[in-house]
């Protein structure tokens, strides 16, 4: 018996990086997993990998900034899987720029993907969780949701919003047995991290070496973050809600 046997989960941004690792791990632990992403080829490849290991998965093409797409992802999951127990709001983007360098359109896009998507999916997911007696929502925030970072003003603002949104949702829905937590990863080996070096005009090797300058002397792996999500999704965290779990190799320790 896996830690999530019999559970039904949605993972956003599941075609690559942390989302991919979490979808694979949740499926190995017994959950039926819906992968919500714009990347159909990548998402379908993860579905096939899950099915090859004997798991249950489906892909839903989803623009997470659109209400109708988010509603469809939830309703499709409920129709195919019979309900919804876990929502992992993981999708996100990063823009490395200051207030002066950020256009209004860029600001709106970061906020839409990193914050509005959580609002929309949670809005449609929570009523289904209430009907089955509870559920779990996990949001991907960031270490930069707890402290500031240079040349990342829209990202820091969005992830700070995710942290406090998580707390507010935990207060609002705890009486319905819905736990809401967020994970604050440090630099993790994903396509998003590689894009940062490019945005900053740095060599990838130099950027990654700097990112690894933390007590554990390495950057994170997607599975490091997926394991934290598994903990929060499972009954092992049955008394954990409203928290921001830092998973960063000690980067914020001092």
**Span 51-104, pLDDT tens digits:** 999 999 999 999 999 999 999 999 999 999 999 999 999 999 999 999 999 999
**∠ CA(108), CA(89), CA(49), 5° rounding?**
120
Number of separate domains in the chain: 1
Q: Is residue 203 part of a domain?
A: no
Percent of the chain clearing pLDDT 90 (strictly above): 98
Q: What is the mean pLDDT of residues 193-210?
A: 93
Residue 101 belongs to a domain:
yes
Q: Can you list the alpha helix ranges (DSSP code H) found in 38-179?
A: 40-52, 67-81, 104-111, 117-131, 153-173
Q: pLDDT, tens digit, for every residue of 106-161?
A: 999 999 999 999 999 999 999 999 999 999 999 999 999 999 999 999 999 999 99
Cα–Cα distance, 12 to 108 (Å, whole number): 19
What domain range is 45 assigned to? 8-184+221-240
Q: Is residue 45 part of a domain?
A: yes
The SS3 call for residue 10 is: strand
Q: What is the pLDDT of residue 252?
A: 97
Is 155 labeled as catalytic in the residue annotation?
A: yes
- Could you say which of 155, 159, 222, 230 is catalytic? 155
Please list, residue by residue across 218-246, b when 16 or more beta carbons sit within 10 angstroms of its beta carbon and e when fewer do.
Answer: bbbebbbbbebbbbbbbeebeeebebbbb
Torsion of CA 32, 88, 13, 204, to 10 degrees: -120
- pLDDT the model gives residue 1: 83
State residue 254's pLDDT score: 85
At 24 the pLDDT is: 98
**Residue 171 in this model has a pLDDT that exceeds 90:** yes
What global pTM score does this model have? 0.98
Contact 113, 65 (CB under 8 A): yes
Whether 196 maps to a domain, the answer reads no
Domain assignment present for residue 3? The answer is no
Residue 69 lies in a domain: yes
Q: What is the mean pLDDT of the chain?
A: 97
Question: For position 78, what pLDDT does the model report?
Answer: 98
The answer to whether residue 210 is domain-embedded is no
Would you say 197 and 208 are in contact if contact means Cβ atoms under 8 Å apart?
yes
Q: CATH no. for residue 121?
A: 3.40.50.720
SS3 state at 38 = coil
Whether 154 maps to a domain, the answer reads yes
DSSP state of 190: S
């Amino acid at each position: 018996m896996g830690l999530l046997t019999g559970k039904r989960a949605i993972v956003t941004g599941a075609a690559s990086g942390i989302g991919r690792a979490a979808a694979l791990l949740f499926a190995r632990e017994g959950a039926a997993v819906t992968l919500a992403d714009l990347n159909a080829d990548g998402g379908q490849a993860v579905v096939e990998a899950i099915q090859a290991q004997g798991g249950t998965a489906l892909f839903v093409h989803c623009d997470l900034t659109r209400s109708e797409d988010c509603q469809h992802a939830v309703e499709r999951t409920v129709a195919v899987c019979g309900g919804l127990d876990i929502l992992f709001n993981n999708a996100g983007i990063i823009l490395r720029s200051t207030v002066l360098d950020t256009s209004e359109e860029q600001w709106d896009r970061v906020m839409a993907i990193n914050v509005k998507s959580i609002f929309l999916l949670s809005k449609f997911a929570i009523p289904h969780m209430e009907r089955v007696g509870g559920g779990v929502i996990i949001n991907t925030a960031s270490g930069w949701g707890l402290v500031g970072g240079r040349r990342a003003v829209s990202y820091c603002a969005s992830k700070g919003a995710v942290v406090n949104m998580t707390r507010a949702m935990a207060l609002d829905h705890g009486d319905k047995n819905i736990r809401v937590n967020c994970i604050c990863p440090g630099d993790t080996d994903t396509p998003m991290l590689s894009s940062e070096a490019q945005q900053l005009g740095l060599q990838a090797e130099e950027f990654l070496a700097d990112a690894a300058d933390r007590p554990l002397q390495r950057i994170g792996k997607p599975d490091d973050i997926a394991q934290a999500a598994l903990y929060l999704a499972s009954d092992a965290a049955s008394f954990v809600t409203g928290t921001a779990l830092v998973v960063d190799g000690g980067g914020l320790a001092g």
